[in-house]
Amino acid sequence: VTETNISTMMEFVLLGFSDIPKFHWFLFGAFLVVYMIILMGSGIIILITRVDPALQTPMYFFLSNFSFLEICYVSITLPRMLMDFWTQKGNISFFACATQMCFALMLGATECLLLAVMAYDRYVAICHPLHYPIVMNHKTCIQLVAGSWMSGIPIEIGQTGQIFSLPFCGSNQINHFFCDIPPILKLACGDIFVNEMVGYIFAVVFVTVPFMLILGSYFRIMSTILKLPSNTGRTKAFSTCSSHLIVVVLFYESATITYLKPKSNQYKETDKLLSLFYTILTPLFNPMIYSLRNKDVTEALRKFLLKSLAL
């Protein structure tokens, strides 16, 4: 084995946005600002859902967990991107690349499951309001959140191990800004059919199945809302789930296209932009969507700011 092949196996190079070198420092500044906004926005939601008595409900317990998940999710990719912009090098070790992929997959699976749990919470609240306190008790909420966080761990560790046990003997350049499945598989030698099929199966389990559950929940929610006698009741009921619905559409649209579309060597830049959307832009929009479209969150934020200024 030559020295070149050994180094190729031991290290990858993330190309990121190296095809537009003139905008390196602009992109560094833009992504740094985005990262700070995500940390601050999601952090504020976690804080106010913990300290405000009016937000001590299952819906906001799930929202707090979702905001923490978003912080973890962007921290897998954005700090690495910022470092690559700063050093203008994309070198990443074999182990670091596998670790980044594994955490990205685990957190992505958690996000899909948590969005399904949040839809189920709205379904019980709107379709079975009298049973809501019994069905969505504290123990059940803890179990649903723990299940969302834990379910993907063994499966995604296995999938990552399977992918990185493949031989990599060609180029070590990953045409992406983080170690994701499609660009990594393009660098593998030999037959990757089994890996692709496993990837599709896991994508169906963690993307399609939760999405179908969300659709089912919202079909029942919409039919219940339309039967409400007053316009005020319908508006109030819909406002409690509209924020979640917008987030679901934003996340699933880009994630589904990325992981479930047929394999193609074309549109590599489009793939990169889609990944940018669900890994970075969706977490950026989420705190704004939940705070601007939710009167309880807006009121809690106002009280928190007034209390902070008084101190």
- The whole-number pLDDT of residue 36 equals 96
Is 2 a member of any domain?
A: no
| pLDDT score for 182 | 87
Residue 302 maps to a domain: no
Pair 85, 28: CB distance under 8 Å: yes
In a domain, 307, yes or no: no
- Contacting residues for 21 by C-beta, under 8 A, at least 6 apart: none
Q: Which residues of 149-165 are buried (b: 16+ CB within 10 A; e: fewer)?
A: bebbeebbeebbeebbe
To 5 degrees, how large is the angle CA 241–CA 246–CA 248? 95
pLDDT in tens, 168-199: 887 889 989 999 998 899 898 878 889 989 88
CATH of the domain at 99: 1.20.1070.10
- How high is the mean pLDDT in each 10-residue block of the chain (311 residues)? 48 88 89 95 92 91 95 95 91 95 95 95 94 96 97 93 89 90 88 88 88 94 88 79 86 73 59 80 86 79 83 66
309 falls within a domain: no
Place of tokens 């705070």: 291
Return d(Cα 279, Cα 139) in angstroms, integer. Answer: 31
The predicted-structure confidence for 197-251, as pLDDT tens digits, reads as follows 988 888 888 888 999 999 999 999 999 998 888 887 788 778 778 888 888 888 8
Q: If you write DSSP's letter for every residue of 61-128 in order, what string do you get? A: HHHHHHHHHHHHHHHHHHHHHHHHHHHT--EEEHHHHHHHHHHHHHHHHHHHHHHHHHHHHHHHHHH-
| Residue 170: strand pairing partners | none
306 in a domain, yes or no? Answer: no
| Residue 204 is assigned to a structural domain of this protein | yes
pLDDT attached to residue 276: 85
Q: What is the pLDDT of residue 298?
A: 84
Q: What pLDDT does residue 307 have?
A: 83
In a domain? residue 4: no
Residues making up the chain, counted from first to last = 311
Residue 43, burial from CB neighbour count under 10 angstroms (0-12, 13-18, 19+): middle
Cα 149 from Cα 138, distance rounded (Å): 17
Number of structural domains (the chain) is: 1
Domain extent, residue 141, equals 11-295
54: which DSSP letter? G
Evaluate whether residue 240 is within a structural domain.
yes
